[in-house]
Amino acid sequence: QAHLVESGGGLVQAEGSLRLSCAASGRTFSATCWFRQAPGKEREFVSVIDWSGAYTDYRDSVKGRFTISRDNAKNTVYLQMNSLKPEDTAVYYCAVGSFISTDLRKYDYWGQGTQVTVSS
């Protein structure tokens, strides 16, 4: 099992920055992924990182603006979000699973989510 806690969300103006954290406890997993869900929309993939940190992937709309990283000594994965846009507004969730995937169905444990709101 795993327990995940996200933090770092908030209200920021467009072009601002936020850093989300996902602190994990319990067993380790091969993949940690960030998803987001805006009101009235489906939950969507944002970024994923493997256990070593050597492999990362991003959805096209955040490439060049978001950076995923991890500190295994702290059991924490980060999502640095720069040049934020109003369309980035959503609840951001981290999830862990045994395989790298952009499919939310492949992830076994989820955090409670953290709200990110970007004003124009």
> What is the secondary structure of 24-81 as a DSSP string?
EEES--SEEEEEEE-TTS--EEEEEEESSS--EEE-GGGTTTEEEEEETTTTEEEEEE
pLDDT in tens, 54-93: 999 999 999 999 999 999 999 999 999 999 999 999 999 9
pLDDT in tens, 12-49: 999 999 999 999 998 889 999 999 999 999 999 999 99
pLDDT of amino acid 14: 98
Q: How many CB atoms lie within 10 A of CB 78?
A: 19
When pLDDT is cut at 50, 70 and 90, the band that residue 108 belongs to is: very high
Q: What six digits make up the tokens of 77?
A: 């994965």
pLDDT of amino acid 89: 98
pLDDT of amino acid 1: 86
Distance CA 6, CA 73 (A): 17
**Which residues lie below 8 Å from residue 66, measured CB to CB, with a gap of 6+?**
46, 47, 58, 79, 80, 81, 82
pLDDT of amino acid 110: 97
